Structure 1
Amino acid sequence: MWIDVDHSNEYRDLQGKYKNFESPKERGPAELFDSFDNDEFYQPRGLDSFPPYCGNHAKDLQILTSTSWYTIDFSIFLHNAFLDNRTGENIVRIIAVIHSTAPKPRIWCHFRNGSKGGASYVTSPIDFYEMNENHKFLYGGWIVSCRVPRSLARSPCDVFVSKYETHDYRSVQLPLRSIEPRKLQKMRINVCVSPIFGNVSYARLVEFIELSRLMGADHFTFYSYDVPKKLTEVLQYYTRLDIVTVLPWTLPIPPGLIWYNGQVVSINDCLYRSMPFFSHVAFIDLDEMIVPQNSIFSWKEILTASNDDRFAGYSFVSAPFPAQSDLHGLPGRSYLLTLLTTNRSTTLDGIRSKVIVLPYRVFEMGIHHVSRPWPDEQNYAVVQVNPKTAILNHYISGQCRLYACSQFVIDQTIPRKYSKALKKSFYQVLHNISPNFMNST
């Protein structure tokens, strides 16, 4: 089923729409786009949403988040725990990396009942759920769950996990993050990006963020692993403006033992972290962009026009844009990839699609799709957006190895609609970071 957005509106000149565009340094992101300061429920800094009744323990819980992975044994590594009450029952969901073939030991959740001094512990068994895109690697992503016992005097702020039915010093303590959505006053979109590592161009990163913001993105979450110095400077700049959250991504196992640096694990971690703060989450990578077509300019126009209580997400078909090899040899500052790369394959690909979801209606994300809507699994739908409304531009280096590319067309959508605003914000950001940033090494 396609969904469409009305294209009858007269073409609007983006240059006029953004004629008063000023850099974040000049005005600040809260003034440039919808004011976050006036939205009392918006709090994206570290994407940590501890239950409100845990206020007295917030500092202790924050200290616990400095630990990236909690080891149960050689086969089970726990990452983050979330309190999920979407079915009316409190259930702990833990994002984990687990050995795919090793027998699953019996493990337990322990909940403190009472004050620290005279506390007893109530125990609940853990169930295992394997994520769908582990690709038969030795380790994979899992969601492990346990029910919060109704006998607890109050809802928990943390959970202790161990291989033993009785809580003792061997249990590991995880802070519980709430996924309960804040009562947002307007649509908020977070962009979750797969772990970035290696030789990523700082120019591509700035271009990606600034173009996404023109499309309607409010915030970005990056998982960072071994990135170059200049890339770190760019991320720090956006972090100071509260536009970006950077989360360290150091796996508890050698990266080669899990699919693509634990991509699906980070995706689902970002899904759950986003639930309290954002109405929508876009899952795209640095070489991709969801591009509205015709007279539509922003993702929010598409999402608003097609809003439906039955929808859990929106899927966008992919269109490959082979980048010229000589462009990739140029210095990062010399060109904007999305403005110069306009040769698009006429073949659209629904398999390598990407999605924007309503996170509170999703249990598990895949890389290219929603693996499992939740909690109304039978009635929630993920709809295919008509390519006349929007497509996913995928900028690939060299030839179309993964696509059936045979014929090409010139696609000037981004240069025609966003060129002036993108150039202005791109160069202004680089200047804001440092007047000599583009010339430094």
Structure 2
Amino acid sequence: MFKILGVNRVVVYKTNCSMETQRALNYYAQTGFVEEVPWSLSEFLSVSDYWSPEHNPGVLHYFGQIPALNDCLYRHMYQAKYVAMHDIDELILPQSVDSWVDLLPLLEKNFGVDKCYQFENNVFPNNIVLPPSMPETKPPAQGCWKSVTGVNILEHLYQEPVNLRNVGKSFKIIVNPQAVFTTSVHGVLKSTNGCVWVNRTIARMYHTRSQQQTLLKPGDLIYDGRLLDYSKRLLTAVNKALREIGLLSGDHVC
């Protein structure tokens, strides 16, 4: 999906992973698209393995997440014009254009250059698969790749209503690394020109994860089929990658 959006490189800070995931990482690393950074700080320090310190305290927060983000910032400060900082289950998705290549000039024009761009978080529960609102928008990948572990984002097209209590707290960013001194999990701590909010009609973050607002009923969720605009290209690319990695046989191609 990042390739489709025009990203040049993905940097993965890896504490550990399954054998299947490692095969995928190796595949993309061989093409030069993925850079894998070993991040096993728990071998040397008492590192919390939970985001909330009161549940699991440690010398470093959550596998050393904040040091990893700052390492990434400085590692690519003079290699990349822009760096996006978010988790592997998150995706900053343009709404009015199709790629980050087109989105970033639009953001520069609207908000100025050398900025930190903040994107609203939208949760798409991965434990809920609902039929789309219209038959013609049925996800073409629904039910595919059953032999492959992981989450198919094309199957989860319903989002939770934006939690007003988390507005301004839970978001991720794209930054010019040369304009930032220090960053944190959500936003920067020190920068030259500050941050600006990107309107959700321009771009927003799709977070495919376990349901966050657990009291919501299925009818409370909001259908969003924007990902389907990428489905044909994504299906083709994923099928090719899974076959070449050896995780999918020809009989299971979607």
- TM-score over 0.5 for the alignment? yes
Structure with the higher helix share, 1 or 2: 2
The structural deviation recorded for 1:406 is 9.0
Is the CA contact (8 Å cut-off) linking 2:126 and 2:151 kept in structure 1? no
Shift of 1:279: 0.2
Per-residue deviation at 1:334? 7.8
Unaligned runs of 5+ in 2: 49-57, 130-141, 250-254
- Cα deviation, residue 399, structure 1: 4.3
Is 2:192 the counterpart of 1:383? no
Paired amino acid for 2:161? T
Find 1:314's aligned residue among 103, 109, 117.
117
Post-superposition Cα deviations, 1:330-358, rounded to whole Å, max 9, x if no partner, equal 94638862211011123163311100000
- Unaligned 5+ segments in structure 1 are 1-210
> How does the TM-score come out when normalised to structure 2?
0.78
1:83-106 Cα deviation digits (max 9, x unpaired): xxxxxxxxxxxxxxxxxxxxxxxx
> Is 2:248 the counterpart of 1:438?
yes
Q: Distance in 2 between matches of 1:336 and 1:396?
A: 9
Shift of 1:402: 11
Q: Does 1:369 align with 2:187?
A: yes
SS at match of 1:291: strand
Match among 397, 400, 414 for residue 213 of structure 2: 400
Structure 1 residues 184-333: aligned runs within 5 Å: 211-251=1-41, 252-256=44-48, 257=58, 258-293=60-95, 295-307=96-108, 311-324=114-127, 331=146, 333=148
1:345 aligned partner = 160
Q: Deviations over 1:240-272 (max 9, x none)?
A: 110011111121202231211000000000000
Kindly provide the CA deviation profile for residues 123-153 of structure 1, in whole angstroms up to 9, marking residues without a partner as x: xxxxxxxxxxxxxxxxxxxxxxxxxxxxxxx
Fraction of identical pairs, as percent: 28
> What do residues 52-104 of structure 1 show as CA deviations (whole Å, max 9, x unaligned)?
xxxxxxxxxxxxxxxxxxxxxxxxxxxxxxxxxxxxxxxxxxxxxxxxxxxxx
How far 1:225 sits from its partner (Å)? 1.8
Aligned AA for 2:238?
A: F
Deviation at 1:319?
Answer: 0.8
**Contact (CA 8 Å) 2:91, 2:206: kept in 1 or not?**
yes
Q: Which amino acid aligns with 1:390?
A: A
Aligned residue number for residue 52 of structure 1: none
Q: 1-side partners of 2:122 and 2:175: how far apart?
A: 20
Q: Contact conserved, 2:182 with 2:188, CA < 8 A, in 1?
A: yes
Aligned partners of 2:199 and 2:215: how far apart in 1?
A: 22
Please give the alpha-carbon distance, in whole angstroms, between the structure 2 residues aligned to 1:279 and 1:226.
29
Moved over 6 A (4+): none
Going from structure 1 to structure 2, the CA distance change for 1:407 and 1:381 (only over 3 Å counts) comes to same
TM-score by length of 1: 0.46
Tell me which protein shows more strand as a share of its residues. 1
Higher relative contact order (CA 8 A, sep 6+): 2
What are the within-5 Å matches in structure 2 for residues 118-137 of structure 1? none
Equivalent pair of 1:314/1:384 in contact (CA under 8 Å): yes
Check conservation: 1:311, 1:382, Cα contact below 8 A: no
Cα deviation, 1:364-384, whole Å, max 9, x if unaligned, reads 0111101110xxx3xx13111
CA contact (8 A) 2:94 2:202 kept: yes
RMSD: 2.7
Structure 2 partner of 1:421: 233
Letter in 2 for 1:298: S
Distance 1:336 1:228 in 2: 15
- CA separation in 2, counterparts of 1:261 and 1:230? 21
- One of 337, 342, 355 as aligned partner of 2:173: 355
Cα 1:259–1:331 change in 2 (3 A) is farther
Residues in 2 aligned to 1:241 and 1:310: alpha-carbon distance in whole angstroms: 31
Structure 1 residue 431: Cα displacement: 1.1
Is the 8 Å Cα contact of residues 123 and 211 (structure 2) preserved in structure 1? no
Specify whether residues 271 and 334 from structure 1 end up closer, same or farther in structure 2 by C-alpha distance, changes over 3 A only. Answer: closer
